[in-house]
Amino acid sequence: MRKGYNVPIWSTFIIILIALDQLTKFLIVKSLEVGESIKVISNFLYITSHRNQGAAWGILQGKMWLFYIVTIVVLVILFMFFKNEGYGRPDVQLGLSLLIAGSIGNFIDRLFRGEVVDFVDTYIFSYNFPIFNVADAALTIGVIVLIIVILFEGKEEKA
């Protein structure tokens, strides 16, 4: 049985993710110099202080005005989707809440720092994956959740 929206729960979830994102970034800025790295798991996971004025893989460096506009438009669309498509669908609400939290987390960095603080540095089969943060992880997981929802949509009705 599906219920409508649970705004207090999803709002709290979003606020907690944003707070976690901002707290971890604050700790990195205060504890490590840019470029400084701490080994967590050798050849796999490091905490590396990094700044990014663009998007993943450093694309669109220095185009902050573009990120401001795109983020605001994306947030409006995400809230509209939450209202229109999320009703009675906690899976959709989860995916959209992750996207909202991740978007706001990185937007705060761009707005107040002029750059995004990244710090999770991973090596996957010797490939150094782009350094990311909690907001980036929330965005990625949100996209994965929504892809799964879309792939399985309608299959539950056939079963």
pLDDT in tens, 55-90: 776 677 777 888 899 999 999 999 999 999 998 999
DSSP-based helix, strand, coil % in the chain, nearest 5: 60, 15, 25
- pLDDT of res. 153: 85
User: Within a domain: residue 67?
Assistant: yes
21 is catalytic: no
User: Within a domain: residue 27?
Assistant: yes
> What is the total count of domains within the chain?
1
Mean pLDDT of 107-113: 95
- pLDDT of res. 141: 99
Burial of 28 (0-12, 13-18, 19+ CB in 10 A): buried
Quick one: how far is CA 79 from the chain centroid? 15
Q: Across the chain, what does the average pLDDT equal?
A: 92
91 is catalytic: no
Residue span of the structural domain in which 101 resides: 7-33+58-116+133-149
Q: Could you say which of 21, 109, 121, 136 is catalytic?
A: 136
User: Within a domain: residue 52?
Assistant: no
User: Within a domain: residue 144?
Assistant: yes
Mean pLDDT of 154-158: 64
The token pair at 63 is 């185009």
Q: HSE (CB half, 13 Å, CA atoms) of 29? A: 13
Mean pLDDT of 1-21: 88
User: Within a domain: residue 19?
Assistant: yes
Name the pLDDT band for 126 (thresholds 50, 70, 90). confident
- pLDDT of res. 1: 40
Q: Could you say which of 21, 109, 118, 121 is catalytic?
A: 118
Q: Over pLDDT 70: what percentage of the chain?
A: 94
Mean pLDDT of 98-127: 96
Q: How far apart are CA 109 and CA 153, in angstroms?
A: 35
Task: Say what the pTM is.
Answer: 0.90
CB atoms within 10 A of CB 120: 20
